[in-house]
Structure 1
Amino acid sequence: MNAGWLWWVGGALLLGIAEMISLDLIFLMLAGGAIAGAVANALGASVPVQIVVAAGTAVVLLFALRPWLLRHLRARTTLVETNAAALVGRTAVVVTPTTEAGGRVKLAGEVWSARAGQEGAVFPAGAEVRVSRIEGATAVVVAQQDAPHG
């Protein structure tokens, strides 16, 4: 009895585990292709046909099903910003005077390089500012009243 389908199912399981780590639905689509390869093997197809069926199914799933799934998943789940993106809009305290040329602010318990996001702005030590964006490892800050809230 041909047990080649077990290799395809094993590959699908490994891809499923990789999907649990990545959560981007790419490995899930590849796992779907591996399952199609297992079905082709179980139906008695040759190895080249199994590979074509697996690859073709994975491509169709990647370009047809994945965008639809992502669209519906994002519509149902709120996006939680992480890392530097989560710092935009937060209040920071100026540690050293901050101008367009540079300075330092205390943001989320850490001291960051900073620069003023407005021409001619000077923020003295102790002033509260709002982070308008993060550029590399530098927080671009604006006056509290000038920052959009949200």
Structure 2
Amino acid sequence: MGDLMWWLFWLVTAVVLGVAEFSTLTLVFGLLAGSALVAAVVAGLGASFPLQLLAFAATGGVGLVALRPVAKRQLTRPPPTRDGSDALVGRSAYVTREVSATGGLVHLSGEDWSARAYDEDLVIPAGVRVDVLQIEGATALVHPRDPLPDPLPEPLPEPEHREE
């Protein structure tokens, strides 16, 4: 490859890395894309390939050193707090009136909330501890924390006695 064609190589590399950054949003590919652009400029000015590599590596290193404190600060930031009814998602509640797909009642955070079973085929009896999976308006969608006991089988009807 001619010395002046390296700028095209670095430019294509920068575009590929930019597309990778756009797809992953990791910032690493963006730093490398910027480094490849610097190397393309250096190549366009007629520098040798080792000088282009040096420009690429130096720019990438400076970018990492400059962004490391920002990345570290982002990693140590506490998770965003939820407020209002969103803060109730993930909490535990106690069923006070049987909960099914059509309705029911749970005691949640010191208040009674209308509730529905998250699984529409499930009927949760009173006294069962449940987890709140979602809040829809003023209704908690809940699921039992522990597996429900099997329902008792219904007794078979007594055979009819015929008197003769």
Give the TM-score normalised by structure 1.
0.49
Greater C-alpha Rg: 2
Give the TM-score normalised by structure 2.
0.45
Structure holding more helix per residue: 1
Q: Relative CO higher for 1 or 2, CA cutoff 8 Å, sep ≥ 6? A: 1
